[in-house]
Amino acid sequence: MSLEPKRLMLLVFVVASILVVLIYSLPKVVVSDEKESLSSKADDQEVHIHNEGDPDHESDPEQLRDLRMMISRSSPESLQPDLAIRLAEIYIDLGQNDSALWVAERLKAGGYYHEEKLVMGMSYLGMMRKSKEGEDMRRFADSSESNLLLVLNEDPADLYTKNLLAEVYLNKGEVMRSVQLLKEIVDTDANNVEAQFQLGILSIQSGQLEKGVERFEKVIENDSGNVKAMYWLAYCLVNTGSSEEAARVIELAKTKTDDAEVIAALESLSENI
């Protein structure tokens, strides 16, 4: 049984507010995933491809301590850039963007300018997420964009950086540019979880729920424990009349998490089948 439109939207916003740490909020943009008929207008709701506090990327306190010590004690010549980038990612997950900028300075001192620009872009992206709106958000978004573009100029095939830049564009309301990048990513790597997930969310917003089913199924195919993708897959299935399959996905998702709030949200969705 399909839900009435008003009840659908209410359910979306209730669940999104409850599951801040697990399920991505729906971006308020209109995107035709098939026809590329795009509106570049976005409202004030925050949009994340990379969600701070995402349990898929939980930070390990011991790893943070060990990496911090290693980077602090390394001479510029002995610095390992991959480890430095990992440390920056942990800081950004924790919302400690100033500490991530410290990592960028360490990379710069070692002559790792490509990696420095990546970490700078990541750090300003983290600041953009925290700002959410206003002049600060725009300024951080612009700083992130300029650094990430420098990275991509050196390595146009860097899909990780393209995903980050796609988020920046989406938050700036430059939807067409964001979707173009996301499609470039999946054209190169159809199994790219983050790009497929975000395209799935955009499919929901454009009313293309069948396309959303395809996107979220692809995410789960490559990340079998992705509960947020299972939620949105079930959402699409409920509203395309595939109630039995939706119920199956919901029950599977409940076995993948012990978070009481997440389980409650899934059960709330199942009540509307």
Percent of the chain with pLDDT over 70: 78
At residue 75, what are phi and psi to the nearest 5 degrees?
-75, 160
- Can you tell me which residue has the tokens 């709106």? 133
The Cα-based distances of 107 to 75, 155, 156, 243, 266 in angstroms read: 10, 18, 21, 52, 43
Annotation: CATH topology of 55-172: 1.25.40
Q: 38 in helix, strand or coil?
A: strand
Beta bridge partners of 31: 38
pLDDT digits (tens, 9 = 90+) for 19-71: 433 444 444 333 444 444 333 333 333 333 333 334 344 556 787 888 889 89
In this predicted structure, what is the pLDDT of residue 202?
92
Whether 208 contacts 32, CB under 8 Å:
yes
Determine the CATH number of domain 1-41+192-273.
Answer: 1.25.40.10
Mean pLDDT of the chain: 82
In this predicted structure, what is the pLDDT of residue 88?
94
Banded pLDDT at 132 (limits 50, 70, 90): confident
Residue 110 per-residue DSSP state: T
Beta bridge partners of 258: none
Domain residue spans in the chain?
1-41+192-273, 55-172
pLDDT digits (tens, 9 = 90+) for 170-183: 999 999 999 999 99
Half-sphere exposure of 81 (CA within 13 A, CB side): 15
Rounded to an integer, the average pLDDT of 86-93 is 93
pLDDT for residue 263 is more than 70: yes
The Cα-based distances of 25 to 70, 85, 163, 198 in angstroms read: 36, 27, 17, 10
* Whole-angstrom distance, CA of residue 267 vs CA of residue 259: 12
* Whole-angstrom distance, CA of residue 21 vs CA of residue 228: 10
At residue 31, what are phi and psi to the nearest 5 degrees?
-135, 125
**Are both 1-41+192-273 and 55-172 of the same fold?**
yes
Residue 84, Cα to own-chain centre: how many angstroms? Answer: 21
Q: Tokens for 255, please give them.
A: 């076995």
